[in-house]
Amino acid sequence: MTCIECGGNLKTRKENYRYLACGLPNVTLAGVEVRRCGTCGDHEVVIPHIERLHEALAMAVVKHEARLNGSEVRFLRKYLGYSGVDFAALIGVSPETVSRWENKKETMGPSAERLLRMLVVHKGPIQQYPIEILTHISANARAKPIGLRPVGEGWVEQELAA
Ligand SMILES: [Zn+2]
């Protein structure tokens, strides 16, 4: 195999690889295939099942007892699939606040941190954005009665006659 940078020879071997590309400074992938160029020093790493890897990584991060640092907040937010702006809207803070958390200018508050951890554990990466609904939460909105109707094995919301 040849190097895409210089055409030199690539040597393949199994290594313990610091996975800096994930944005966390302290993640090592044990025994993965790394191809290094003997000429220019460039390398490529073979990462199998990367979605599963990120899932395992996210679970490892939320299990830590230490408070989340900025890199971890950013990693988990991206793992969930939110932009900074959308994540801010989702949990009800300003985009500037999310930016300060991720850039280590401010520590995430305990409630927000628990919410982020819960989203990772119970929800996983987004299938569809619930943000539309959440951005419409308003102190001025009137409380509405909820109607529910049994359908098949479950229940669906039912508009109630006024
Ligand atoms: Zn090379």
Q: How far is the CA of 2 from the centre of ligand 1 (A)?
A: 8
Helices 84-91 and 70-80: crossing angle in degrees, nearest 10, is 90
Segment 66-124, tens digit of pLDDT = 999 999 999 999 999 999 999 999 899 999 999 999 999 999 999 999 999 999 998 77
Structure tokens at 138: 């308003």
Q: Is the pLDDT of residue 137 over 70?
A: no
The domain 49-133 having CATH identifier 1.10.3470: the answer here is: no
Give me the numbers of helices (H) and strands (E) for the chain, helices first please. Answer: 6, 5
Taking a 5 Å cut-off on Cβ, the residues next to ion ligand 1 are 3, 5-6, 8, 37, 39-40, 42
User: Which of 36, 38, 19, 39 is CA-nearest to residue 28?
Assistant: 19
The reported pTM is 0.75
**H-type helices in the chain, by residue range?**
50-63, 70-80, 84-91, 95-102, 110-122, 131-134
Are 64 and 57 in contact, with CB atoms under 8 Å apart?
Answer: no
Distance (angstroms) between ligand 1 centre and the Cα of 36 equals: 8
Domain boundaries of the chain, sorted by first residue: 1-48, 49-133
- Residue 40 CA, ligand 1 centroid: distance in Å: 4
If you measure from the C-alpha of residue 30 to the centroid of ligand 1, how many angstroms do you get, rounded to a whole number?
Answer: 24
The C-alpha atoms of residue 111 and residue 119 are separated, in whole angstroms, by: 12
